[in-house]
Amino acid sequence: MWQSRLVRIIRARLEGAEAEPGRIAAADVARLILGLERAIASAAYLVLRRPRRGAGRYAQVIEGAARLRFVGVESGSFVEVLALPDVGDAVDGELPIRVADLSSQALDRLLDMLEDRPGAADPELASAVAQLAADLGIGERNTSVALSCDRPPGVPGVRRVVIDASVRARMQRLGSPQVPAQDQELVGTLVEADFERNTARLRLPAGSSVDVSFSAELSDDIHEALRSKARLVGAVQYNPRTSEVKSVLLRALHRTWGTQLALGSESFWDSPTFAELQDAQGTTGQVTMSDLAMTDLTDDERAAFLAAFEQRLPRKFLPGRCSSTRTS
């Protein structure tokens, strides 16, 4: 099966409780292929030393270099066998490199970064790998994905790398350069907590979630505040690309309480009449129009205004005609 040295074969082994043939989600099969293609495409820009934005004329070449072919599935844990473009694929006249060679070099560039080789790190490429790991739930519903492939033609041996939870975290750090954390307050609902790892999740009013890290001394406060509104004070970290809150290192936590009515439990349901409210508050509810302050009017202007006002005001609002309509 595809043993020709002219074609580089990638074996992608997904490990996890649900990563057996017949149990693996079909969506994960597609995510694995598409995620690898995105990562190889990102690495191809590095090989060409071209910016990822504004490189429209190279887009077709990059797309061709990243287009994997499905070869088959091997037994055991789910293993997808994929092939890079072969030497017979089209050549772009403007570049001194064949599409197949570009694809092979891009794959090696990707593996170099996964092996943490000096000078191989790149934020855009790391983001592509982190997205692949997130889509596959690495460290959550799946344990890891192992990539193995033949070395370039003429070079013996096999390269093998593993993307697990620690690699996923490293790729996330590389893909999101740290912005100095800022001390501030966040208000939301603590929806879950892991007291072994001292982590929690805060849901903000807008619906997004924020990762919370806390010390053991704050465990009791976290436990009491679960499923309720809380005000968190700590070092807040933002996503440098989206400016959204990403995480908070908790320093203090305060539970927030809704505004409570200053009424007795029975008073809330009362519906007093207007006259009853007047009696309770010691007021008639009547206003003598001539007592209103209109210091900037002359006597004639004030008289004309009051006459016009009384003509237009509904009779029920005139002195001596208070409504007894019930209020709620």
Can you list the domains of the chain with their CATH numbers? Answer: 9-175 (no CATH), 182-255 (2.40.50.500), 270-317 (no CATH)
Specify whether the CB–CB gap between 77 and 13 falls below 8 A.
Answer: yes
pLDDT value, residue 52: 64
On the question of pLDDT at 321 being above 80, the answer is no
* Banded model confidence at residue 35, pLDDT cuts 50, 70, 90: very high
pTM for this prediction? 0.53
Specify whether the CB–CB gap between 214 and 200 falls below 8 A.
Answer: yes
Total residues belonging to the chain: 328
Question: Among 59-68, 239-248, 285-294, whose mean pLDDT is lowest?
Answer: 285-294
On the question of pLDDT at 117 being above 50, the answer is yes
The closest alpha carbon to 15, from 40, 32, 33, 35, belongs to 32
pLDDT value, residue 261: 43
* pLDDT per residue as tens digits for the range 194-232: 998 889 999 998 888 899 999 989 999 999 999 888 899
On the question of pLDDT at 5 being above 80, the answer is no
On the question of pLDDT at 328 being above 70, the answer is no
Residue type, 55: A
Interhelix angle for 165-175 vs 123-135, to 10°?
A: 140
Query: What value does the mean pLDDT take over residues 181-188?
Result: 80
Specify whether the CB–CB gap between 229 and 188 falls below 8 A.
Answer: yes
Residue type, 307: A
* pLDDT per residue as tens digits for the range 163-174: 999 999 999 888
- Specify the 3-state DSSP secondary structure of 254: strand
H or E element, residue 209 = strand 209-213
